[in-house]
């Protein structure tokens, strides 16, 4: 494999990283809103958001990307592959992060909420200054673990023709007929991307376990 092929793989890696960032940040914004709605105390809103989460957690990511790209095209809304996968990953991430953060918010001791209410803090101040800072710390290991899964899940974006790392590897492999070499390098690039995050997530879990003793 020559330098040009390796550079093409690095271009695919760049799009994998960008898609992961867009999906994670977009999913984080909507996921936080979903988490807050899930603990709003309003039964109808909680049921709607619970259904949203169940929909995306109960269906394969591959199908979700397929529906966003091809399904919307059937109703006249033709999206570029990059836009389609960005929307798909944002929706997917928002459901998972929303549920992770909902659990973290509910894991904060009830006494914290009661103390904030006793100080006459309004809902926004109570969440921003008391509950969310603690919930974020609790959720960090699970959030990082999901980010690792999201990065690996970007390989499914090839179904709509988006050239990320895995599809770039497939293209190079078809050109030079060395699949073991090409996908060995692809695997190493994924490993170098995900392994540090996994180590950091494990480190945070150990710190939290020690702090809880």
* Predicted pLDDT at 212: 55
Q: Which is nearest to 20 in space by CA: 69, 117, 86, 113?
A: 86
- Cβ pair 3, 185 in contact under 8 A: no
Q: What's the full length of the chain, in residues?
A: 213
> Rounded to whole angstroms, how far apart are CA atoms 27 and 50?
16
pLDDT at site 207? 80
Q: Is 131 exposed, middle or buried (0-12, 13-18, 19+ CB in 10 A)?
A: buried
Q: In this structure, are residues 56 and 95 in contact, taking their beta carbons and an 8 Å threshold? A: yes
**What is the pLDDT, as a whole number, of residue 82?**
93
Structure tokens at 120: 């006459």
pLDDT of residue 75: 84
pLDDT digits (tens, 9 = 90+) for 69-119: 998 888 888 889 999 999 999 999 999 999 999 999 998 888 877 787 777
Q: What is the pLDDT of residue 211?
A: 62
Position 20 scores a pLDDT of: 96
Residues of the chain below pLDDT 50: none
Query: CB under 8 Å to 165, separation ≥6 — which residues?
Result: 9, 12, 13, 15, 16, 154, 155, 186, 189, 190
Q: Which fold has domain 3-212?
A: MetI-like fold (1.10.3720)
Please write down the long-range contacts of 185-192, taking CB distance under 8 Å and 24 or more positions apart: 185/1, 185/6, 185/9, 186/9, 189/9, 189/13, 189/165, 190/151, 190/152, 190/165
């Amino acid at each position: 494999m020559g330098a040009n092929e390796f550079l093409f793989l690095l271009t695919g890696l760049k799009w994998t990283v960008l898609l992961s960032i867009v999906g994670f940040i977009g999913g984080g914004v909507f996921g936080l809103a979903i988490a807050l709605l899930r603990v709003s105390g309003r039964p109808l809103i909680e049921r709607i958001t619970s259904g949203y989460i169940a929909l995306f957690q109960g269906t394969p990511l591959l199908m979700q990307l397929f529906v966003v790209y091809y399904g919307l095209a059937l109703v006249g809304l033709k999206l570029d592959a990059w836009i389609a996968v960005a929307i798909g990953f944002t929706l997917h991430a928002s459901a998972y992060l929303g549920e992770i953060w909902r659990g973290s918010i509910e894991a904060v001791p009830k006494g914290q909420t009661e103390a904030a209410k006793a100080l006459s803090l309004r809902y926004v101040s109570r969440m921003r200054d008391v509950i969310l800072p603690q919930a974020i710390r609790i959720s960090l290991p699970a959030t990082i673990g999901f980010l690792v899964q999201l990065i690996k899940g970007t390989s499914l974006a090839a179904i709509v023709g988006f050239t990320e790392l895995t599809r770039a590897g497939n293209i190079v492999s078809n050109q030079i007929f060395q699949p073991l070499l090409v996908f060995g390098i692809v695997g190493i690039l994924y490993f170098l991307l995900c392994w540090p995050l996994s180590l950091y997530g494990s480190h945070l879990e150990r710190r939290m376990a020690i702090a809880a003793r």
